[in-house]
Chain A
């Protein structure tokens, strides 16, 4: 089952705007290599799960995958062929809001070559442009 919060304060929320770059969650912390977004956007729970499966299938037992984002935003939509009005739509899915620079996934315990190939497969599933990064000094 895709990721979603266990408890929320409100069922629906407003869309909001994504402004500026990520100032937190923008460096590799748990693993050795990471996948960083260079665009902002919404990443749905299903996409995060698809990425996890793609990475796990490639990595098998070689390394460990860390997911650094969590879908906390409920996204609503109005059904097709419905007249306008009658209030806000019902929640359809959950999404993680990412700013440019956010690290989405990390890999530890694998070689750089394996991590690059794995992230390459994973990057094709992402709705935003991403890049490969490493742990940095200091």
Chain B
């Protein structure tokens, strides 16, 4: 896709992309966000076939779980990117297989532009799953105005909840966070029935005083790191002679 100033940019992240990626993103409008994915079964496997699949705008995927045989699938890249951007974790697969699935793992390319492979697990809506959910900070901390630095310790948290209740993200308000204050896991507003595995006193975000810059020691002469094994050799030579 091209931006207003004519540069080619990646659709999901709005970052400029290299010419060899452009062909995958000039295919027009995306579908509106939908939680139903049209999947095709994938007969051909291997690196070469999967590269061809990606060039055609499909992502190789696999579906497994519930003690059934794994199924190789191909999902439309545009639709899947859109779902990932909106934070969907639960999808309904339609086409080659008709069942609900949970996005267990998503592999990205080096640049974070494209999803390279997806792992789906079979799931029912009331089944409990363990999932990593992003933590988003909202508001402005008064402690920052007092000269503090905001330090987010946890960016994601592992939750156990029903598949239907997986939140897109957990928001933490920092409007009351003063200097030397913190928000802990115990302060999180969780969805009903959800369980966290972190300690309740684990910090999520802290407002701390800025660390002082350590004074740089000027070392005269050349400094070389210690050589592993040299001391032993020298001792051995001394004892031998």
The residues of A with any CB-CB pair to B shorter than 8 Å are 1, 4-11, 21-23, 26-27, 32, 36, 38, 56, 60-64, 91, 100-101, 108-109, 131-138
Contact = CB atoms under 8 A, between A and B. Distances in A.
Chain B: interface secondary structure?
loop
Given A26-B112, A61-B210, A137-B85, 19 more contacts: A1-B219, A1-B223, A4-B225, A8-B225, A9-B227, A11-B227, A21-B110, A22-B110, A23-B110, A63-B150, A64-B149, A101-B110, A108-B151, A109-B152, A131-B15, A131-B16, A133-B15, A136-B108, A138-B84
16 contacts: A4-B225, A5-B225, A7-B227, A9-B229, A10-B227, A22-B110, A26-B110, A26-B112, A100-B110, A101-B111, A108-B150, A132-B15, A136-B13, A137-B85, A137-B87, A138-B103
B226 interface: yes
A61 B146 CA distance: 11
Contacts of A131: 15-16
A19 B219 CA distance: 36
A8 B213 CA distance: 28
Contacts of B210: 60-61
A20 to B, nearest CB: 9
Interface in B144-168: 147-152, 155
A38 B21 CA distance: 14
Interface string B84-127: 11010000000000000001001010111000000000000000
A38 B18 CA distance: 10
Contacts of B147: 61
Interface of B: 13, 15-16, 18, 84-85, 87, 103, 106, 108, 110-112, 134, 147-152, 155, 210, 213, 216-219, 223-229
Nearest to B155: A135
Chain A: interface secondary structure?
loop
A135 B132 CA distance: 15
B124 to A, nearest CB: 22
Contacts of A10: 227
Contacts of A9: 227-229
Closest CB pairs A-B (n = 3): A101-B110, A61-B210, A109-B150
